[in-house]
A = this chain, B = another copy of it.
Amino acid sequence: MSWSRKDLLDIQSLEPEELTTVLDTAQAFKAVGQRAIKKVPALRGKTVINLFIEPSTRTRISFELAAQRLSADVINFTAEASSLKKGETLKDTARNLEALNADFIIIRHSAAGAPHFLARVLEVHVVNAGDGAHEHPTQALLDVFTMREKKGRLAGLKVTILGDILYSRVARSNVWALRKLGAEVTLCGPPTLVPPAFARMGCRLTHNLTEAIADADIINLLRIQHERQRKSMFPGLAEYTRLFGIDRARLALAKPDALVMHPGPINRGVEIDSDVADGDRSVILEQVTNGLAVRMAVLFLINGGKAPPPAPPATPAPDAP
């Protein structure tokens, strides 16, 4: 199936076939990252602008590298939402970037819906790199990509997402992607942070860790964001770790081939113990590698590229320049 959307705004509105197209395309791009020359000319002469109104060094770098490896030119535009508001609306900023003949705007914003708004008012391609507590579609795509690669399938896979579900765009996008692709999803965390509404999406909800991980194939941990958690909703950090932190003993309650995932950056000793993070059941760093492949695939597809993509390796550069 080929791709026909101008933008990547969320997972919710995608068809299962579209998700599969991204995953298959990403598989081909993953190979590019392992070549001696990690570059393809697909977006040569195109301009990608990273519009990061909420700071995120890792996601920004992943998109920046994805664009570079597609041979695009990349511009970083980072700003505090507050200072932006002072002088200029988001729409004006974005339309100015479009007027520079930009081809892609990758937006990270603290307000849910900001990417959708831009997609409506702009003609350039818009990619959501995380909007408030709404969605983070490329994170979900790299997560399901990793699961499919490791477990060989998504249909029927048992995935447990653990942590602050309520405020997590990662959880929200993961649930959409997993349900569309036929996985069984369990959400687990403190009662205040697991909204009952997710049951309507076919998720199992629980506040009991042992029950949540007993038969899971995948345990996807969410990052505890010290600074963001609301005091009234969130137990203390030590309390959270005691109830929901994953260490070696807890992991022993899961199936012997259950894998541990985390969107990063990890808080060692809080939601994940170092034994687990660095153990052979963790695929956390592979998620990072896969994120690059998924983002290359997304940029390639919304630019109109046809899947399946990259074929033969580029000619290596001569050793002596």
Complexed CA–CA distance, A62 and B49 (Å):
12
Contact between B45 and A99, CB atoms less than 8 A apart: no
The answer to whether A321 and B45 touch across the interface, beta carbons within 8 angstroms, is: no
Among A35, A68, A101, A317, residue most surrounded by chain B Cβ atoms (within 10 Å): A101
Q: A35-B45, A92-B265, A311-B320 are in contact. List 7 more A-B contacts (CB 8 A).
A: A38-B46, A89-B268, A96-B264, A98-B285, A99-B285, A99-B286, A305-B319
Per-residue CB contact flags for chain A residues 265-291 toward chain B (1 = under 8 Å, else 0) read 111100000000000000001101100
A56-76 contact mask (Cβ, 8 Å, vs B): 1 or 0:
011001101100111101010
Report chain B residues within 8 Å CB of A266.
Answer: 88, 92
- A residues sitting closer than 8 Å to B (CB atoms) are 32-47, 49, 57-58, 61-62, 64-65, 68-71, 73, 75, 77, 79, 87-89, 92-93, 95-101, 264-268, 285-286, 288-289, 292, 300, 304-306, 308-311, 314, 317-321
Are A285 and B96 in contact, CB atoms less than 8 angstroms apart?
yes
A95 to B38, CA, bound (A): 19
Q: Is the CB of A87 within 8 A of B267?
A: yes
Q: Tell me whether B42 and A317 are in contact (CB under 8 A).
A: yes
Chain B positions within 8 Å of A96 at CB level: 58, 264-265, 285, 288
Q: Are B88 and A265 in contact (CB-based, < 8 A)?
A: yes
A119 to chain B, nearest CB (A): 18
Q: Is the CB of A40 within 8 A of B321?
A: yes
Question: Which residue on B lies nearest to A293, using beta carbons?
Answer: B101
The distance from the CB of A49 to the nearest CB of chain B, in whole angstroms, is 8
Q: By DSSP majority rule, is chain A's interface helix, strand, loop, or mixed? A: loop
When A73-B65, A89-B268 are in contact, do A57 and B44 touch as well, CB less than 8 Å? no
Copies of this chain, complex-wide, total 3
What is the CA–CA distance of A266 and B100 in the complex, to the nearest angstrom? 17
Q: Which of B38, B49, B71, B289 contacts A317 (CB 8 A)?
A: B71
- Check A100 against B288 for contact (C-beta < 8 Å): yes
| Cβ-defined contact, A310 with B320, below 8 A | yes
Question: Given A65-B47, A77-B57, A99–B289 Cβ distance below 8 Å?
Answer: yes
Q: What's the nearest-Cβ distance from chain B to residue A293, in Å?
A: 10
B320 touches A305 (CB 8 A): yes
Given contacts A92-B265, A305-B319, A310-B320, contact A100 B45 (CB under 8 A): no
Chain B nearest Cβ from A281, distance in angstroms: 17
Instruction: Tell which of A49, A88, A305 has the most Cβ of chain B within 10 Å.
Output: A88
B286:A306 contact, CB within 8 angstroms: no
Shortest distance between the CB of A61 and any CB in chain B (Å):
5
CB nearest neighbor in B for A43 = B317
